[in-house]
Amino acid sequence: MKPYALLFAGQGAQTPGMGLSVLTESPSLQAYFDQLQAAVPFSLTEVLKGDDGRLNQTRYTQPSLAVTSLLLYQQLKPFLPKQASAIAGFSLGEITALVASGILDTSSMLSLLNVRAEAMEQASLAQPGKMAAFIGASDEQLGQLLASVQEEGVLEIVNYNCPGQRVLSGKVEAIDKAVSLASQFGARRAIPLAVSGAFHSSLMQAAQFPLASILKTLTIHEPSIPHYFNKTGQIGHQETITDLLIEQVASPVLFETTLLNMANAGILTFIEIGPGSVLTGFVKKTLPDAQVISYNGIKDCDAVKELWK
């Protein structure tokens, strides 16, 4: 039976009402949801149902999205034929994936995530920033773009999503100018992202200190499934995981490298878990011969089963 990898969605994939349909489709997961709720310092149902904008505020987004992905994972597990051969997550998804790979138990992961979300929000308030996706420009062209706007402040390539797609992160003025100049440096499109800070840039360094503190209190296990980490695009091990998680918030996400390394290990089948299908698009652009499914609920079970026919 062919190997496969699980990919957990990152921040930006959130949508109002996400996760609640899982409880309707699979009422037996209500007890699991209640367990997750006990580790989250706000009402998940209120935030998921609400239209007050909290779902797009980092301190609410991250736990809400992680809980949604964990609910989907629990719903999906009975339909998987065997244990996954690898796991990865995109940014926030890397933290969610710590449960599936056995590195942290659910309560510890949510404790970490609550601190991470708060720390990133505070860093964003102290150092306001933005992010934008650039489509079609080469890394060399983006380097030239960065040089052309350096007087506006911090601006860095932070997400290496797939061939031809990179995300820049930095000061508000720097991002705005880079977006306005994008076409002059080879980009077909420049798309501002719906996030509340300059994530994965050096402007997030202050968020590393609270992460280091909480991680000292948690028990890190050796992964039971190979877990590929954002900072390196490679498999992490027990002795390096703490540093990888601390550094991740202020380091680029090497997702394209992660996918290529998985493919080199013989993995060409992927299941994305979480709302939306952003990572599915990255897989298709990076590995055109791969099979990939976005799992968003029970309606996708048949497509998952087809992967092994």
Instruction: Say what the pLDDT of residue 242 is.
Output: 97
Q: Tell me which of 26, 101, 111, 200 is the catalytic residue.
A: 200
CATH number, residue 294: 3.40.366.10
CA distance 78 to 98: 19
Predicted pLDDT of residue 12: 74
Quick one: 10 and 90 in the same domain? Answer: yes
- Examine the pLDDT at 13 and tell me if it is beyond 80: no
Q: What is the pLDDT of residue 173?
A: 96
Q: Of 174, 192, 210, which closes a domain?
A: 192
Across residues 159-184, what is the average pLDDT?
Answer: 97
Q: Does 159 share its domain with 280?
A: no
Q: For residues 90 and 289, what is the distance between their CA atoms, to the nearest angstrom?
A: 21
In-domain check, residue 19: yes
Please state, as a whole number, how many other Cβ atoms lie within 10 Å of the Cβ of residue 16: 12
**Domain membership flag for residue 197:** no
| Residue 279 forms part of a structural domain | yes
Q: What is d(CA 193, CA 300) in angstroms, rounded to the nearest whole number?
A: 27
Catalytic residue among 91, 169, 201, 251: 91
In a domain, residue 139? The reply is yes
CATH of the domain at 181: 3.30.70.250
User: In degrees, to the nearest 5, what angle opens at C-alpha 192 toward C-alphas 97 and 190?
Assistant: 110
228-263 pLDDT per residue, tens: 999 999 999 999 999 999 999 999 999 999 999 999
Same domain, 67 and 216: yes
* Catalytic-residue membership of 91: yes
**Residue-wise pLDDT tens digits, 119-158:** 999 999 999 999 999 999 999 999 999 999 999 999 999 9
For residue 226, count other CB atoms closer than 10 A to its CB: 19
Any residues with CB less than 8 A from the CB of 50 and at least 6 apart, and which? 16
Q: Give the amino acid at 83.
A: Q
State which residues form the domain around 155: 129-192
Please, which pLDDT band fits residue 306 given cuts at 50, 70 and 90?
confident
Q: Could you tell me if residue 233 is inside a domain?
A: yes
301: pLDDT confidence band, cut at 50, 70 and 90? confident
**DSSP 8-state symbol, 266:** T
Distance (Å, rounded) from C-alpha 70 to C-alpha 11?
14
How many other CB atoms are there within 10 angstroms of residue 285's CB atom?
15
Residues 208 and 109 in one domain: yes
pTM: 0.96
In this structure, are 162 and 142 located in the same domain?
A: yes
Which of 160, 192, 224 terminates a domain? The answer is 192
Answer yes or no: do 136 and 263 share one domain: no
Q: Both 218 and 118 in a single domain?
A: yes
Average of per-residue pLDDT across 273-284: 94
Q: How far apart are CA 284 and CA 287, in angstroms?
A: 5
Residue-level pLDDT at 194 = 79
Say yes or no: 121 and 11 in one domain.
yes
The answer on 237 and 111 residing in a single domain is: yes
Domain count along the chain: 2
Q: Give pairs for 157-160: CB < 8 Å, separation 24+.
A: 157/252, 158/131, 158/199, 158/200, 158/201, 158/251, 158/252, 158/253, 159/91, 159/131, 159/133, 159/200, 159/252, 159/253, 159/255, 160/252, 160/253, 160/254, 160/255, 160/256, 160/257
Backbone Cα Rg of the chain: 19
For range 50-75, the mean pLDDT? 90
Task: Find the mean pLDDT for residues 85-91.
Answer: 97
Q: Are residues 37 and 73 both part of a single domain?
A: yes
Residues 51 and 151 in one domain: no
SS3 26: coil
Q: Of all residues in the chain, what percent are helix, strand and coil, respectively (each to 5)?
A: 50, 15, 35
d(CA 164, CA 123): 29
The band of 216, judged by pLDDT with boundaries at 50, 70 and 90, is very high
Same domain, 20 and 84: yes
Query: What DSSP character marks residue 250?
Result: T
